[in-house]
Structure 1
């Protein structure tokens, strides 16, 4: 619900600054920071000097991310001038000035900026008041952060936070800083260190563009680009020296400048050797109850709340449960009695090619008796919004679906809605993507010994071969990048699941890179980048504990979900228009329950349903597609939500949200991408081969368009846009003469 900018001077070990007061979006500034977690003589031989212009710089930084919080602004700077916090507020809970940030504890010694929402507010507030005597200033959920930190300290206070958040806490009693990000990475938080010696400063912000006003200069991280490190579970971004606080991690900074990173949460799954003892009905009920609770918690706000409604199962199920809670149980949708005006928002793509689902969304809304507004994203609109989408996302995407989400997010704000409920996370938890069947079939599911696939290895092995071939066939049909599904170290390290190769389809190959880049990173393997970024504990569980389906889900969740889907299809495109999205499926208590369910209840073997569902989706096709069609993806979720769904949605197969990929030459999208990808602009990047781009601009459009060339152009055009708007320095081989992977 906010934008954050923080500036901290490192090496503040002798300064115990008092409290000064200003307001702002999350930001931190520090002199003398050490990214390796150690101090050195350069840091300890002197005291950092305060920046006399810090106050103005923080405001300028907040201007860069004003879209994240247009309702109020605040800046706080410590008495010694070495710590500055800034915050742009999107007012959702407690609309009074009591909800403005930065926040101070009741004794004035703890200061924080918080981006996001903390749920279960009433219970936590009552506990902190009665057990710890905390005196709350207002009724904002963000104030819980300083109260919990004061009561329990770090990292224990994070265990109490249920929701989506990025936060920075400064404890002036110890001079320490704590920065943390929610368990799935719904809210962004980046950091970098600038300056030298005693003038080193640590910067944190919700978006890297905020650093531009704090003396940071953008340079490309070419290694991260070619290896796709930005999309993995390591902390790189597209910019050199700019790091992510990883989902489920907290970053501690001591007064003398030591920076350390700690994990406080990770996914875990049922042991594959355990036989399930619960009844199927009990587990279906368990899913329904926990999903309903996750939705109910996210219906609280002091502003109206809407729903993003696609033609899919996930968002439709959320809408159905909301209608039940409102109309039958009397719950409010935000600050309103929504029984007669529950509002949904959907997107309409051009109807050719099977990418438009708006007609299904409209039928669902009619069945539920709710209002629906539609954003038409035709070719002209997609071309118009492309560059702004890339700028807000701060990374490339090889599909125009992010541009569609950028346009869709205009609708709620135009109609007075600041908050929407969304369906992200369901596919990850319940096995919803067409990439999962090959990995599901790798081993028996011993939790369900009565399943035909557990009892009949010959049947399972035959289907496994077909499912793998179906995945191979899908790649050229969808025109995605191919990094290989052959046996390799990456697959072996995660028990032979193919997911790292499937993910490669949306990650750019080496094709567009300049010759010096291809030579420098000749051995780079995107699949290995993905698996190397996973912890040794996770890979050990992949080999010894988890069923391959769960390993596959883990790999996707820690990489694509966190770094791409929750960014360009989530927070970045929504907050570009000051809209906060709340994804109930990413409630960690719900996910922990679902992760303990048998794999066979997620991908249900239902051969009798062969051919059922909507055939318009380009994801379903080819002679081997029957191996995927015999599975009812998200089976237990369908059963848990059956009473809230139309028969059409209950039967329909998953269609991953994507935009059309074939467009004519000379039309708006071709014109826009050609205007962006000029020879001069490409050469200014320094790491892209213009000859490849020129060829792709020709081959990627027209009646016989090569979809892979089109996707390549989308990535390059995003790089050009970012390079120009960030003023990024041209990359050269000299800058990377001794380059090595930096995980």
Structure 2
């Protein structure tokens, strides 16, 4: 993984004169400064290239994983000098692609870096066809000097970030691309709050960020920039899809289980390839345990190596001492069962207080939980142990229906693709279980302390039917702090009439909305929305790329291999969430909770690789503790950060609820909801101070239409 910074001079917005960019040396200086701000992403080398006229500048800092020699440094250039690129990420199966291009297209490679196959594929197939051949996680920018165009793109799930913005006015319009927003500070960017995005949770739902005018290129899309006029166009090259809910499945259960097993093993095998050691993040859940179990099998039965490391497998795990949320003990038992090493990262209150601000600076978003701080600390452990790469379990819950809140949506309709299911035949039982799921979700949400102001949603709202009545928009908003009552009065007055769930619905591509309405089962609608919002914009940021790359760690998620996902998406809903009565006729039908086994087909596919304890264990989400003592390290940290002056300097937050949270969020009777509110606001304070963000005012939002993610960019 690496960091990129790109500067492109665009045509003037209201003048016929072509703007004259700063001198080449000045641009190189800007790029150099911007790369220094993300040196953690690429500590091994730094490269800068600028056209003779200064119109295009490419910067890259490298974390060397494949081909550790200088030949793998970037920017990359084609043999004829007409195409230039900066690439962040990892391309799997690159040896096969390399051999194919050499033999069939006589392409001459200059290195053994996986990144160079991107340049080669573009040379052979052009855009967007070259994207069909890329398997992995990536963000990249290509400058085709011959055709006068820029190609920018991002992987299918948003594992690797790519932000863009336009700065300057009139004759000084400059387009910037970067893997982290802080990079823009080195290019003269002056950040302002996007208050509408913060209030609507646009940063977690669509392509907005917390900063005005800064967008992320959505996963599965590519952007084309025509030079010199600077016209920008966005195109979809890949999207998740599911079978029609009325299509009856003809494959046997055994065939589908074996299909999942084969594709998961292949995805993991590919991700063991590296020229540096590869480790594994191991929690107490099935996802990381299954990865560790399959790796152990590959090492022992096929003599596979973990990158450049042979022999013993090393796992890394986190411990929250004396907390009911701690999973280290079960992770240790799994490691012992597999016969692998496990290294512990102990995260106590003092450590969380010490690392909170730095973790938020790296994440660049707010969170409502201290989990990202714990994950940032965990990522320092493999680096200290000599590892640059780890395998991780992100993406499994979003495709195998692992979250507890998916049962609500699964039970909205019978699964017509699986007629043998009891719930397909017994609609009365289906409706009873759906009501039980509704009640259970309410209890679970309250237990997390994320309850807040209720949404205004009823069947008259157009969006309710547009998403087949699924509850996922509610869940996403509650999981991102959208309902916390901390907004300044002018914000509430301006936007309180909005039904925030329409933000979720409008973020879905029009083609997907049509399938949601007419083709997909509600469970698949739920999983699709989660993948497009919560996964790409929050989980892969605060528990993924940004917290891992803070310590120069490349994390590889096998469950987000698109070949595996395409197979899993076509499986019947009833094999992802399995009704226990279909497995055991003695199941008590009067249970107060829906009797569903989450990720059932994954459990069956991985049964031989994991301990029975893991096979039978229900999912426990990764969350940091929220109960902390009064006047302890965390309470003192929040008191230091969330002063009245700091809150008022934000411009969009009311001081009174923050003051109340400081008084009532700690101690034996501490309010979990107020603690999460405090975490969210403290994140804004950290970003305000670290980025130098200008105070938001009501006046600048006087004439602000609702954001449309599908407007012409």
The answer, yes or no, to whether TM exceeds 0.5 is yes
Q: Tell me the residue number matched to 1:491.
A: 464
Aligned-pair CA distance for 1:510: 5.4
Report the 3-state secondary structure (helix = DSSP H, G, I; strand = E; otherwise coil) of the residue aligned with 2:153: strand
Aligned-pair CA distance for 1:325: 0.5
Change (3 A) 1:48 1:174: farther
CA distance in 2, matches of 1:625, 1:552: 25
Q: Tell me the residue number matched to 1:668.
A: 633
CA distance in 2, matches of 1:735, 1:511: 22
CA distance in 2, matches of 1:356, 1:62: 37
Q: Residues 166-205 of structure 1 correspond to what in structure 2 (within 5 A)? A: 166-205=139-178
CA distance in 2, matches of 1:659, 1:84: 42
Residue 525 (structure 2) pairs with residue 551 (structure 1): yes
Give 5+ residue unaligned stretches, structure 2.
709-713
1:115-163, CA deviations, whole angstroms, 9 ceiling, x for partnerless residues?
A: 0000011111011112221110000000011111111111111111100
Deviates more, 1:515-524 or 1:363-372: 515-524
Report the 3-state secondary structure (helix = DSSP H, G, I; strand = E; otherwise coil) of the residue aligned with 1:627: coil
Aligned-pair CA distance for 1:625: 8.3
Do the aligned partners of 1:10 and 1:48 also contact (CA within 8 Å) in 2?
no
Residue 129 (structure 2) pairs with residue 129 (structure 1): no
Q: Residues 623-638 of structure 1 correspond to what in structure 2 (within 5 A)? A: 626-628=592-594, 630-638=595-603
TM-score (norm 2): 0.96
Report the 3-state secondary structure (helix = DSSP H, G, I; strand = E; otherwise coil) of the residue aligned with 1:402: helix
Match of 1:590 among 564, 571, 587: 564
Q: Tell me the residue number matched to 1:350.
A: 321
CA distance in 1, matches of 2:7, 2:707: 24
CA distance in 1, matches of 2:80, 2:591: 63
1:475-506, CA deviations, whole angstroms, 9 ceiling, x for partnerless residues?
A: 22211044448534433210000111111221
1:543-596, CA deviations, whole angstroms, 9 ceiling, x for partnerless residues?
A: 111000000000111000000000000000000000000000000000000000
Q: Tell me the residue number matched to 2:214.
A: 242
Aligned-pair CA distance for 1:528: 1.5
Aligned-pair CA distance for 1:527: 1.5
Aligned Cα RMSD in Å? Answer: 1.6
CA distance in 1, matches of 2:131, 2:665: 47
Aligned-pair CA distance for 1:45: 3.4
Aligned-pair CA distance for 1:336: 2.0
Q: Tell me the residue number matched to 1:410.
A: 380
1:220-240, CA deviations, whole angstroms, 9 ceiling, x for partnerless residues?
A: 0000000101101x2110000
CA distance in 2, matches of 1:609, 1:674: 53
Residue 254 (structure 2) pairs with residue 289 (structure 1): no
CA distance in 1, matches of 2:20, 2:126: 27
Match of 1:645 among 610, 616, 621: 610
Aligned-pair CA distance for 1:704: 1.1
Residue 12 (structure 2) pairs with residue 9 (structure 1): no
Do the aligned partners of 2:201 and 2:477 also contact (CA within 8 Å) in 1?
no
Report the 3-state secondary structure (helix = DSSP H, G, I; strand = E; otherwise coil) of the residue aligned with 2:620: coil
Give 5+ residue unaligned stretches, structure 1.
12-31, 33-39, 613-623
Report the 3-state secondary structure (helix = DSSP H, G, I; strand = E; otherwise coil) of the residue aligned with 1:504: helix
Q: Tell me the residue number matched to 1:21.
A: none
Q: Residues 678-689 of structure 1 correspond to what in structure 2 (within 5 A)? A: 678-689=643-654
Do the aligned partners of 2:390 and 2:556 also contact (CA within 8 Å) in 1?
yes
Do the aligned partners of 1:481 and 1:504 also contact (CA within 8 Å) in 2?
no
Change (3 A) 1:489 1:382: farther
Do the aligned partners of 1:481 and 1:506 also contact (CA within 8 Å) in 2?
no
Q: Tell me the residue number matched to 1:315.
A: 288
1:399-457, CA deviations, whole angstroms, 9 ceiling, x for partnerless residues?
A: 11111101100100000000000000000010000000110001111111011000100
Report the 3-state secondary structure (helix = DSSP H, G, I; strand = E; otherwise coil) of the residue aligned with 1:328: helix
Aligned-pair CA distance for 1:165: 0.2
CA distance in 1, matches of 2:236, 2:70: 34
CA distance in 2, matches of 1:3, 1:580: 12
Aligned-pair CA distance for 1:270: 1.3
Q: Tell me the residue number matched to 2:419.
A: 449
Aligned-pair CA distance for 1:608: 8.8
Match of 1:464 among 429, 434, 438: 434
CA distance in 2, matches of 1:484, 1:363: 43
Do the aligned partners of 2:423 and 2:429 also contact (CA within 8 Å) in 1?
yes
Do the aligned partners of 1:309 and 1:315 also contact (CA within 8 Å) in 2?
yes
Q: Tell me the residue number matched to 2:554.
A: 580
Q: Tell me the residue number matched to 2:499.
A: 525
Report the 3-state secondary structure (helix = DSSP H, G, I; strand = E; otherwise coil) of the residue aligned with 2:8: strand
Report the 3-state secondary structure (helix = DSSP H, G, I; strand = E; otherwise coil) of the residue aligned with 1:167: strand
Aligned-pair CA distance for 1:212: 0.4
CA distance in 1, matches of 2:506, 2:661: 31
Residue 668 (structure 2) pairs with residue 703 (structure 1): yes
Q: Tell me the residue number matched to 2:27.
A: 54
Do the aligned partners of 1:251 and 1:262 also contact (CA within 8 Å) in 2?
yes
Deviates more, 1:131-140 or 1:481-490: 481-490
Deviates more, 1:86-95 or 1:510-519: 510-519
Residue 368 (structure 2) pairs with residue 398 (structure 1): yes
Q: Tell me the residue number matched to 2:711.
A: none
Residue 689 (structure 2) pairs with residue 718 (structure 1): no
Residue 203 (structure 2) pairs with residue 230 (structure 1): yes
Aligned-pair CA distance for 1:41: 4.8
CA distance in 1, matches of 2:31, 2:564: 38
Do the aligned partners of 1:226 and 1:510 also contact (CA within 8 Å) in 2?
no
